[in-house]
């Protein structure tokens, strides 16, 4: 799935106001132990690299003083981890928000997320997220494995389109299983740079965090890192310098479509994180440059829309399928490219 959970570069930034996330007292009989090893055994899902990053940023304190990752914790020491952002559970605050609900019953909700809306709170997005709005409209939502109420899957902040939200524990379990077993249906429309060679095909290659740019995901075609990712694509319309495609996800990795398209030479149009905000195809003469830049202004985000969502209803067993039209910004840019291609006979 296209997730909206990038690792932010300033996650461990220093701040005059720090929030306590973890606090531990070392047992009195404990032998001296490096603080990174001390914490990795006590914080679920922590990695040594993350803890060392936190230490370098001054976010780990022993008895009130910042320490390095190799500091030896002794019996009776108070070890705290503090960040400049509040703990996640403090961000789950109901907030009034207009939701574009496509379908709702007693068990689930399908909604159409607008571009620019972050799905859940996290560093840099402490309020005003879709989850804050969901908590206002639906007082009781089951938590997923990440303790995020109602969320079965996610899409990126600047990706628009369909999401399903669970209203009961059993619905959450059933839908999550469908996504895990790849029996759900997820189709996206994307405008990408270049003229894709074949009318349809499959992009393969494991996807994992980029080794140098932590804000990007990278494709490892030899599967040496990351997790298996499979994206099926079909060309919908060709405009010469850009192509409108439909992408069907068989797996759901972070930034899957964006990373696959970048790796195979067709970054999403105006996808700043993956280089699609440059003029990648066509001659860079003045009128063409102005045309592309005007398109960027109309569509100030990656050209990606989660248009189709299908699954089996967890209670009724009915096959559910939903579609939502392309948002106005994508429609307008696609039409501009359509007219440009006709005019230039591309």
pLDDT tens track for 67-85: 998 999 999 999 999 877 6
Residues 270 and 176 in one domain: yes
Beta bridge partners of 323: 308
Residues 47 and 184 in one domain: no
Q: Are 296 and 277 in contact (CB under 8 A)?
A: yes
Residues 123 and 69 in one domain: no
* Residue 230 in this model has a pLDDT that exceeds 50: yes
Residues 211 and 231 in one domain: yes
- The predicted model gives 121-142 an average pLDDT of 87
Q: Which of 63, 83, 103 is the last residue of a domain?
A: 83
Our count of domains for the chain comes to 2
Query: Is 156 a residue of the active site?
Result: yes
Please report the pLDDT score of residue 279 as a whole number.
Answer: 93
The range of the structural domain enclosing residue 174 comes to: 90-344
* Residue 214 in this model has a pLDDT that exceeds 80: no
CATH number of the structural domain spanning residue 57: 3.10.290.10
CATH number of the structural domain spanning residue 217: 3.30.2350.10
Structure tokens at 230: 């499979």
Q: What is the pTM assigned to this prediction?
A: 0.79
Q: Which of 60, 83, 106 is the last residue of a domain?
A: 83
* Residue 10 in this model has a pLDDT that exceeds 50: no
Q: Which of 83, 112, 138 is the last residue of a domain?
A: 83
Residues 277 and 215 in one domain: yes
Q: Is residue 2 part of a domain?
A: no
Residues 72 and 177 in one domain: no
Q: Is residue 222 part of a domain?
A: yes
CA 240 to CA 219: how far, in whole Å? 26
Beta bridge partners of 231: 203, 249
Q: What is the pLDDT of residues 277-314, one digit of tens each?
A: 999 998 878 899 999 999 999 999 999 999 999 999 99
User: Which DSSP string do the residues of 318-331 spell out, in sequence order?
Assistant: -EEEEE-PPPHHHH
Report phi then psi at 50, rounded to 5.
-60, -45
Q: Is residue 140 part of a domain?
A: yes
Residues 97 and 67 in one domain: no
Residues 269 and 250 in one domain: yes
CA 162 to CA 305: how far, in whole Å? 8
CA 155 to CA 123: how far, in whole Å? 17
Among residues 187, 135, 169, the alpha carbon closest in space to that of 2 is found at 187
> DSSP character for 30?
P
Helix and strand numbers, DSSP H then E, in the chain: 7, 17
Q: One of 4, 36, 156, 158 is an active-site residue; which one?
A: 156
Query: Any idea which residue has 């207009």 for tokens?
Result: 98
């Amino acid at each position: 799935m296209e997730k909206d959970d990038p690792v932010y570069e300033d996650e461990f930034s220093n701040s005059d106001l720090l929030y306590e996330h973890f606090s531990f007292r070392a047992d009195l009989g404990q032998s001296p132990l490096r603080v990174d090893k001390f914490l990795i055994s006590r914080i679920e899902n922590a990695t040594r690299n993350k803890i060392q990053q936190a230490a370098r940023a001054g976010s780990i304190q022993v008895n009130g003083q910042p320490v390095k990752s190799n500091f030896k914790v002794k019996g009776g020491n108070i070890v705290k981890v503090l960040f400049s952002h509040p703990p996640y559970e403090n961000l789950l605050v109901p907030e009034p928000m207009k939701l574009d609900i496509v379908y709702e019953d007693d068990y689930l909700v399908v909604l159409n997320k607008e571009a620019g809306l972050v799905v859940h709170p996290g560093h840099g997005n402490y309020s005003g997220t879709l989850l804050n709005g969901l908590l206002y409209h639906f007082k009781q939502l089951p938590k997923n494995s990440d303790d995020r109420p109602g969320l079965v899957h996610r899409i990126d902040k600047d990706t628009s389109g369909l999401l399903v939200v669970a209203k009961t524990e059993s619905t959450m379990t059933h839908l999550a299983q469908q996504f895990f077993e790849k029996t759900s249906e997820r189709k996206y429309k994307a405008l990408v740079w270049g003229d894709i060679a074949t009318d349809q095909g499959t992009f393969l290659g494991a996807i994992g965090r980029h080794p140098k740019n932590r804000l990007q995901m990278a494709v490892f075609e030899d599967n040496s890192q990351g997790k298996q990712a499979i994206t099926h694509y079909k060309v919908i319309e060709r405009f010469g310098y850009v192509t409108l495609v439909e992408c069907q996800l068989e797996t759901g990795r972070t930034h899957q479509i964006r990373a696959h398209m970048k790796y195979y030479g067709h970054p999403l149009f105006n996808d700043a994180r993956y280089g699609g905000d440059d003029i990648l195809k066509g001659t860079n003469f003045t009128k063409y440059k102005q045309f592309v830049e005007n398109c960027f202004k109309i569509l100030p985000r990656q050209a990606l829309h989660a248009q189709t969502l299908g699954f089996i209803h967890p209670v009724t067993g009915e096959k559910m399928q939903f579609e939502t039209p392309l948002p106005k910004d994508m429609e307008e840019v696609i039409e501009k490219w359509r007219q440009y291609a006709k005019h230039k006979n591309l």
